[in-house]
Structures are given as structure tokens and as C-alpha cells.
Amino acid sequence: MTHADVTWRPGESRGRASLLRVALRYGITTTGPVAVSAAHFVASLVFLRNLSTHEFGLFSFVMVVVSFGMSLAGALIVVPITQSLVSGDDAVRPACYRMNWLVCGAFATLLGLALWVSEAPPREALLLGLFGAAFAFRWFARSLAYIDARMSAAIASDFVYSLLLVTLLPALALTHHMTFNHGSEVMLLAALLALLPFGRAFFAGQLAQLRQGTLKAYLPIFRDVSRWSTMGVIFTEVTVNIHAYLVTFISGAGSFALLALGMLLMRPAALVQSALPDMERPAMARAIARRDLAGLGAIARHFLYGLGAAWAANILLCVVLLLFFPALILKKGYSLDAVALVAAISAAIMLLRAVRTPMAVLLQAAGEFKALARLGAISGAVSLTATLALLLAFGPVASLLGILLGEVAVVARCLSLVAAWKRTHAAPAAEATVHG
């Protein structure tokens, strides 16, 4: 579905038509991410209620790192493919397809090692490392489906993954067979079976790239495009999630479990914020290629509306859970006040991310990767310094305020960068319109 799919009709206010267009566009697109978010919420509750605090902390750490893997795959693989829509370079896709296999393999290895260092059992560390690789590959396939206008395949994959999790994990819990090992097996199985909707032709094309060419073809792509987007993702991870790594490695996975509850409560908004850029980035890139600044502005506004609606709905869910069903999310040893405080700080962080995400995606679509990398370096330094200082001085909960400070820095700088980019490109766009 494109922005033109829902048109204004006589007798209908333009404002109402705009709201209808936004509702339909994001309603259809977010069904898959919402299903995955709900499935992860159920999975987290099952792990929370049936496993030890340490095991729940490890699972929550995996979900943080897997989200980073999704972003890393996007920066290394999806962003160059999206940019090729503007450049028209047909050699980009094959090189990126080959690189994706290496990225997923390396990700599995690093995640498995991180879990082992964090005192996860070797078998579970291996299973969850493979889960991370399978989920990253699924996210790549999903992003490619959006680029190629195969939205139905992406949504089907989301639903397969979600249905398997919400069926198998509660079944294990109800039959008293829920263990960290069995939960890890279910996560891996769901991620693998969720690849099936992308079809035989998709995998045939991916496997064919293993027998053709070399990874050297990717080097110019990395030099010109993805090195900056990758640096941006790494710095963004420091800005966004450095507390997860510091708390897990310094204070232990059990200490991270309390912070994970706040992340659990805000997971629906977080997943929508991760999913929508894959749809809007190509749309923004096409608008930029057409020099359609008005259309670009409309996409950015609708993007913000969608993220704002997801955040507001998530806040309502948090309030309902904390007020009426606290026993559902409170693990033994956690007070309602502590969980509510973590949830409030997490909600403020997610609101800032909802504001800056459309701006950051616009800058990505415009190819401003160097500026984003510099932005990430600044905000990452703020988050790292503040989070580490607050963690050592006041403990894990206070470390979240370091993340909040980093997000404030990101929003302020994004506003400046987007305003500067629009000023630079407003005159050429106006001239092109006159001559067109």
C-alpha cells in the first residue's frame, strides 16, 4: 500500500482523509509487528513466571542483543539495497546477499559467546545464538519483502512466528515442562519456521549467491554507504542499550531482570519503532529521488503519527497492567513501586525515540550517514558516561537516566540536522518543479 492508495473524495474533509490514510496504512503494516510484540510479551511473561531471575535476565539480554542484530543487518545489508533504488546500481543486491550470510553467522557466534560469559549453560547459549542468527535473517528477508512490495510475505512471517510462540510456550508452562532449555528450543524453532512464508524462490536466490562471486564486491559498498550506517547503528546501540550490557556484565543478569520488566512493558512501542522504518525508508528514498519535499514531509508526519499512536496505546496497556493486574508482571522480590518507576523512565525514553525516529530515518534515506555517525558518537558518549557513573553510584535503576540523557542529545541534534538538510534541498527542489 502506498500513500496514494487511499485518496481524498469530494465531500470528505482533507483532514479526515489524511487521518483515514494514516490509519489504513499503519493499521495494515503494523499488524505483523504488533503480533510479534504480543508474542514476545507472552514469551517474556512465561519466562518471568517459570524461570529463575538469572534465567529471565539472560532471556531479556538476548532480546536486547537480537534487536541490535536486526539494526546491524539493516545497516550493513538493507540500507545499501534501499540506496540502490536511488542509484540504480544492480550490483548492490548480489553483494549484499552474500554479506548477509556472513553477518548472521558472526552474530550467532558473538551472541553465544556473550551468553556463555554471562554464565548461561553451553547448550542454551548455542540455541539462543542460533536463534539470534535466524531472527536477524528473518528480519533481512522481511525488510527485502517491503522493498520489493511483497508485504504479505512479511506479515505472514510475523504471524507464523507469533503463533508458534504463543502456542508452544504457554503449552510448556501449563504442562509443567517449561525450562530454559525448552524455551530456547521453541524460540529457535519459531524463528526458523517463520522463514517459510518468504518462499522457495527467495531462498534459492539467497543460496545461489553463496556459489557466485566473492565478498570483495561488498567492500566498495561498505566504504561508500554501510560503514557510516553501521557506525551509526553501533553508536545508537550504545546510546539506547548500553545499560543492558553494563548491568548484565557488571551487576549480573539477575540485576538486569528488573530493568527488563520496564522494557517488557514498553515492548509493543519498541517493536513498532523497529518495524516501521523498514517500510518508510524506501518511501522516503523514492520521494527524495523525485525531489518531492512535500511528499517527504507527509511521509514523515504520518510516520510520527503512527509512532505516537503506538506509544499512547502502550502507555494505556502499562497503566491497566500496573493498576489492575500487577500480579501478572510482578516477580517475587520486586515491589510495585520499583517496577512502576522503571516503567515510567522507560516510557519517557520511548517517547523521545518516537519523536526522533522519523527524523533519523529521513536522514538515512537522504544518505546522511556520516552526519548520523557523528551524532551517534556524541550521544553514545553521553549515554555511556552517564549510565556507567549512575550505575556505579546509585545502582541499576538509576542507570536508565543515562539512557534518557542520551536520547535528549539525539533529539536535539536530529532537529538541527533535518532543518539544515531541508534548507539545503528546498531551493533545488523548487527549481526542479519550475523547470518540470
- Residue 433 covered by a domain: no
Which pLDDT value is given to residue 116? 94
Nearest to 144 by CA among 107, 103, 199: 199
- Residue 371 covered by a domain: yes
- Residue 110 covered by a domain: yes
**C-alpha cell of residue 416:** 538541527
Nearest to 168 by CA among 136, 194, 150, 202: 194
Select the more confidently predicted residue: 14 or 106: 106
Q: Which domain holds residue 231?
A: 14-424
Q: d(Cα 361, Cα 131) in Å, to the nearest integer?
A: 27
Q: d(Cα 292, Cα 386) in Å, to the nearest integer?
A: 40
Phi-psi region of 298 (alpha: psi -120 to 50; beta: other; left: phi over 0): alpha
Q: d(Cα 329, Cα 7) in Å, to the nearest integer?
A: 43
Helices 369-394 and 227-246 cross at an angle (nearest 10°) of: 10
Q: d(Cα 261, Cα 275) in Å, to the nearest integer?
A: 21
Select the more confidently predicted residue: 185 or 201: 185
- Residue 431 covered by a domain: no
Question: Tens of pLDDT along 40-55?
Answer: 889 998 999 899 989 9
**C-alpha cell of residue 404:** 534518557
- Residue 9 covered by a domain: no
- Residue 435 covered by a domain: no
- Residue 4 covered by a domain: no
Nearest to 116 by CA among 104, 126, 106: 126
- Residue 401 covered by a domain: yes
> In the structure, what pLDDT confidence band is assigned to residue 309 with cuts at 50, 70 and 90?
very high
Cell 521453541 identifies what position? 186
Nearest to 68 by CA among 107, 101, 100: 107
Number of Cα atoms under 13 Å in the Cβ half of residue 39: 24
Of 1-15, 86-100, 110-124, 238-252, where does mean pLDDT reach its minimum?
Answer: 1-15
Q: How far is CA 198 from CA 31, 126, 139, 143, in A?
A: 17, 25, 11, 11
Question: Tens of pLDDT along 408-433?
Answer: 999 999 999 999 999 988 765 555 54
Nearest to 270 by CA among 21, 62, 63: 63
Instruction: Please check whether residue 84 is in contact with residue 117, taking contact to mean a CB–CB distance below 8 angstroms.
Output: no
Structurally, the chain folds into a number of domains equal to: 1
